[in-house]
Amino acid sequence: MSRRVLIVIAALALAAALVFAARPHEATADERIDQIAAELRCPVCQGLSVKDSTSETARQMRDLVAQRVREGRTNAEIEAEFRAAYGDWILLSPPVASWSGLVWLVPVAALAAGLVFVTGRLRSTDAPPPAQPSAIDVAALRDRVAREEAAEG
Amino acid sequence: MLARVVRIAVVVALLGLTVTLALAFRRDPHDIKTGTILKAAPTFTLQRLDGSGEVSLADLSGKVVVMNFFASWCLPCTQENPALVRVYERYRGSDVVLLGVNLQESRENGLAYVKRMGMSWATLADDDGRVALSYGVFGPPETFFIGPDGVIAGRHIGPIAEDTLVTAIETLRARAVR
Amino acid sequence: MSAGDLGAAALRAALFLSLWGTGASIYAAWRRDARALASARIAAGVGFGLVVIAALSMMFALATHDFSILYVAENNAKETPLFYSVISLWAALEGSILLWTAILAGATAFIAFRGTLAIPRLATTALAVMFAMLSFFLLLITTPAADPFARLALAPDNGNGPNALLQNHPLMALHPPLLYLGYVLTSVPFAYAIASLILGEGGDRWLVATRRFALISWALLGVGIVAGAWWSYAVLGWGGYWAWDPVENAAIMPWLTSTAYLHSVMVEEKRSLLRTWNLALVVATFALTILGTFLTRSGVVNSVHSFSLSAIGPLLLGYLVAILVLSVGLLLWRSARLRDAEPIGAPLSREAIFLFQNVLFMAATLTVLLGTLYPLVAEAISGAQLSIGGPYFDRVEIPLALALLFLMGVGPQLPWHGASRATLERQFTAPIVAAAAGAFAALVTGTTALAAVLTYALGAFVIATVVQEFARGVRARRTLHGEGGLTAFSNLLRRSGRRYGGYVVHIGIVLVALAVATSQARTVDAEQTLAPGETLVVAGYTVRLDAIRPVSEPQRDSIVADLSVTGNGSSEHLRPALVQYPNSAAAIGSPGIGAGLRDDLYTILAAYDQRTLSWATIRMRVIPGVSWLWLGGAVVGIGALIAALPAPRRRAVRMPIAEVAVSAD
């Protein structure tokens, strides 16, 4: 079987697996409680989420979240209830639609700037081929071979 | 051109970093603000610890309400208790109501603590912690000051001193008169 | 003379010697004066000895419970066991800076004696920089800001004892020293880089001189971070190993830039490019270690490690600013000379992959930096309080990490200067097939979250590329040298240690990635209140509460829950506890952990009946794959060791006499 065919088949299989993993599915009540609890900060701990904390306060918060989920509230409504009492501090991840949402911009901007910078430094693929090396270059190359062997060995 | 931009960006970033870190000294990492300040106090109806009835916030409208969250397992609560006792005696029978709210323990434990500390004011049981959560309580001891208009005027985290209590109460009473 | 007096005197003498050394090495470099260099050497050696004496004096004072010293009174008690007394050297601010200074003094001495032999002027200038930094730290610990030997007018009967969290687990002996070694050793490449800039050298000699230091500091930092994760897991008792706590972030930032550096340095070695960038990376790594120290020690962020607010904050900030101003100033001044002579290479070349990898690492570092500092900024400017925690960092860093995993597999397979399509097909067939197999392995084991499946796929991809590289190397050695398979393999590691040790490191990173993906995707937990004899069932394991009993030791009282856990072919007895130390207001949770290659059984005693011990609330977490984290960390350390060890000398080749006679004609 030619390599190219093998690569294509493998790539398709991989894509299928990923599509399956990414399929949207309705979160169960328990999963929703966990999701919301993971986004809330435990007020009496050092930066732990309500989901991870074993404190009594966290347990009571989880109970409240569970009750609201049973009552049919949305994730946003439940988070809003806690925000009304504790302020934005209670959310472990800043809401996108606010001043603090600017932090989401940082990684994107850093990546974009970096990629632009790097691609600017790369040689374009249709550059002319490098010229034949001169005697001086050859001597320098020998030197470098010796250096590399020393470094790598 | 690009090199110049990069240089300026680097210098600006460093300046920003330095200023940020220097400013950070002004901040006390233990001072946390809550979302409920200056908003209407969440209503509640709680049972008394000794089982002798209920207390509703709605019944207390027009009065100055001091809500103190406490627990027997909270060491600083024992420290602030004498101040609370003195303030209670001072304002007994007036338009100032002192409420104690017991958190995260059994009623028996709470009652035993109340008796031991000589807390004669109305002490209530917040069994599931919902009232504390609605007020944005971080942990006992925590004291909220509710004005006659039903709005939370302020909050104190940690053991509270007598003069802090009196100052806050008098400020709220003065507003009521006006 | 007591231990405290000896230590204090030793530090002050060391400060004097360090200042002398700074001046002597500056003079020696400037005037190329051998005698000044000799005196600087002596200053370095004796200074190191003195700081070590000071550290040992503190350990002695702790072991003998000398409460006339403030530090001992605050961090030690009569009941503290000997082991924890001794390691309390780094339990709090002043002692940990003493440890830091000792390591720095050792590095300075090393450069004074070994470094200056190889490249005299460069190393001597670097030595001056090291002495200057050492002087700063010695100044810190001989002033009231952080003097570990400060005395108490009236010695108390008994001390406070170490912080409860710091005497609960023997790992406390390992995590801080490893981390500090990693931190402090980043100052060596930094010193050489600054020296190179000051002397205006355009060359790469500073790189070659510090290659091993950079690798060793990176490895120690990485292993120290993994040790910290293990400590968080085994001691803090919340069931996780990484919480994006500000101090954890402070440690990982220099590690990220250091990793980027280790790779882009190869581009400079091969093709003499990216000089300014590499210098900037070295400066950034070192500056981040100081920033990390500042964040940990100054009290401006609330964290697990928060030391109390002290005067040291502004001093460290000043030091950080001075370093940044000096380094950036030098870089900007010299940057014209260091410009690249040619473009980097084709998009599908190893150089390009290293560049992309660097971009990803920079994005990752910037995210962590701004995420940690943003709450400070926001509050200082507007008074608003907000949190940036796990969910934010996870959402950004996980995709970046996956992209890096991918590059980790691609990079080593691409040749320098560029690859043809035929090369690509040949190199990547097996890895892509492996990736598909990895994805299916994930689905089959029940790991269906997208990020986890991707991790498995990319992990298999990387492993396949590494196996391919080893196979190719073994084949080459067998053909060229006629070695047997096993000999060829071990020779690859010994003679080309840098490359193949690097591949071993990559395998370790894959293990860590798989551990994180599996544990995040498939952890299950349940909590229940049980009476003795009752059981709780989670993920095929049955947990029975056998008994709840109090345990009394000289330095602490605990309530222990005896649990029997059975299921899935294993049977364990675990003992989670709630431990009360006299100097702590709240009890510390101590988890009961049954470690396994497949799953870890993590049990927590959340609450118990305080009056009659008739019930206990037990939380049980089944965490698959977390053991691979520690394994992966060990593999990374081994790989770094292979890469750092010098190769055995080449045997001389003997020419047969007949050939020599022939060529003489």
* pLDDT digit string, tens, across residues C424-457: 888 899 999 999 999 999 999 988 899 999 999 9
Calpha distance C180→C96 (Å, rounded): 9
Nearest 5°: the CA angle C658, C664, C665 is 105
Residue C225: its H or E element = helix C205-235
Contact at CB, C317 and B10, closer than 8 angstroms: no
Residues C212-232: tens digit of each pLDDT: 889 999 999 999 999 999 988
- At a CB cut-off of 8 Å and minimum separation 6, what does B167 contact? none
Closest CA to C504 of C407, C630, C404, C638: C638
Of A43, A63, A88, the CB nearest to B138: A43
Calpha distance B138→B141 (Å, rounded): 9
Which residues of B fall below an 8 Å CB-CB distance to C? 3, 7, 10-11, 14, 17-18, 20-27, 29-30, 32-33, 75
B contact chains, 3+ CB pairs < 8 A:
A, C
> Structure tokens of C508?
């370790």
Calpha distance C654→C642 (Å, rounded): 29
Residue of A nearest to C441 (CA): A17
Band of residue C374 on the pLDDT scale cut at 50, 70, 90: confident
pLDDT of residue C300 exceeding 70: no
Interface test with A, best of C306, C355, C386, C404 (most A CBs within 10 A): C386
Of A56, A82, A84, the CB nearest to B104: A56
Calpha distance B117→C642 (Å, rounded): 67
pLDDT of residue C422 exceeding 80: yes
pLDDT of residue A78 exceeding 90: yes
Calpha distance B174→C231 (Å, rounded): 55
Closest CA to A53 of C517, C243, B103: C243
Tell which wins on pLDDT, A46 or B121: B121
Of A21, A106, A123, the CB nearest to C366: A106
Calpha distance C195→C28 (Å, rounded): 13
pLDDT of residue C161 exceeding 60: yes
**pLDDT value at position A55?**
87
SS3 (DSSP) at C590: strand
Q: Rounded to the nearest 5°, which phi and psi values hold at C194?
A: -60, -45
Of A21, A52, A153, the CB nearest to C647: A153
C9 burial (CB, 10 Å; 0-12 / 13-18 / 19+) is middle
Task: Quote the minimal CA–CA distance from B152 to chain C in Å.
Answer: 19
Band of residue C663 on the pLDDT scale cut at 50, 70, 90: very low
Of C343, C366, C400, the CB nearest to A121: C343
Band of residue C660 on the pLDDT scale cut at 50, 70, 90: very low
pLDDT of residue C337 exceeding 90: no
Give yes or no for A18 touching C (CB within 8 A): yes
Residue of B nearest to A114 (CA): B6
Over chain C, what is the mean pLDDT?
Answer: 88
- At a CB cut-off of 8 Å and minimum separation 6, what does C231 contact? C169, C171, C172, C175
Contact at CB, B139 and A82, closer than 8 angstroms: no
Residues C577-588: tens digit of each pLDDT: 999 888 777 788
- Which residues of chain C are within 8 Å of residue A56 when distances are taken between CB atoms? 607
Per-residue pLDDT of chain B (178 residues; tens, 9 = 90+): 556 777 787 788 888 878 877 777 666 555 556 678 888 999 999 999 988 889 999 888 888 999 999 998 888 899 999 999 999 999 988 889 999 999 998 898 899 999 999 999 999 999 889 999 999 998 889 999 999 988 998 888 888 989 989 998 988 888 776 6
**pLDDT value at position A118?**
85
Tell which wins on pLDDT, B133 or C161: B133
Contact at CB, C302 and B30, closer than 8 angstroms: yes
Say which range, B1-15, C358-372, C398-412, has the weakest mean pLDDT: B1-15
Query: CB of C274 within 8 A of CB of C264?
Result: yes
Calpha distance C545→C566 (Å, rounded): 12
Residue of C nearest to B6 (CA): C332
**pLDDT value at position C658?**
47
**pLDDT value at position A127?**
46
Calpha distance C387→A148 (Å, rounded): 49
Residues 478-517 of C with CB under 8 A from A: 495-499
Count CB pairs under 8 A between chains B and C: 52
C contact chains, 3+ CB pairs < 8 A:
A, B
- At a CB cut-off of 8 Å and minimum separation 6, what does C608 contact? C548, C559, C561, C578, C615, C616, C617
Give yes or no for C356 touching A (CB within 8 A): yes
Query: CB of C233 within 8 A of CB of C618?
Result: no
Contact at CB, C347 and A18, closer than 8 angstroms: no
Residue C530: its H or E element = strand C524-530
Calpha distance C32→C492 (Å, rounded): 42
SS3 (DSSP) at B41: coil
The 10 Å CB-count burial string (b at 16+, else e) for C453-490 is: bbbbbbbbbbbbbbebbbeebbeebeeeeebeeeebbe
Calpha distance C19→C236 (Å, rounded): 42
Contact at CB, B104 and A82, closer than 8 angstroms: no
Do the interacting molecules here have an ipTM over 0.90?
no
Calpha distance A36→A29 (Å, rounded): 11
Tell which wins on pLDDT, C491 or A78: A78
pLDDT of residue C602 exceeding 80: yes
Task: Quote the minimal CA–CA distance from A72 to chain C in Å.
Answer: 23
> Structure tokens of C258?
């250091």
Tell which wins on pLDDT, C241 or C209: C241
Interface test with C, best of A44, A102, A152 (most C CBs within 10 A): A152
* Phi/psi-derived region of residue B150, left when phi > 0, alpha when psi is between -120 and 50, beta in every other case: left
A contact chains, 3+ CB pairs < 8 A:
B, C
Tokens 């991840």 map to which residue?
Answer: A93
Contact at CB, B133 and A84, closer than 8 angstroms: no
Calpha distance C205→C191 (Å, rounded): 13
Band of residue C343 on the pLDDT scale cut at 50, 70, 90: confident
The listed range with the strongest mean pLDDT (B94-98, C23-27, C203-207) is C23-27
Contact at CB, A57 and B34, closer than 8 angstroms: no
Rg (CA), chain B: 22
**pLDDT value at position C302?**
60
pLDDT of residue A16 exceeding 90: yes
pLDDT of residue C662 exceeding 60: no
Size (chain B), residues = 178
Tell which wins on pLDDT, B158 or C15: C15
Calpha distance B129→B122 (Å, rounded): 18
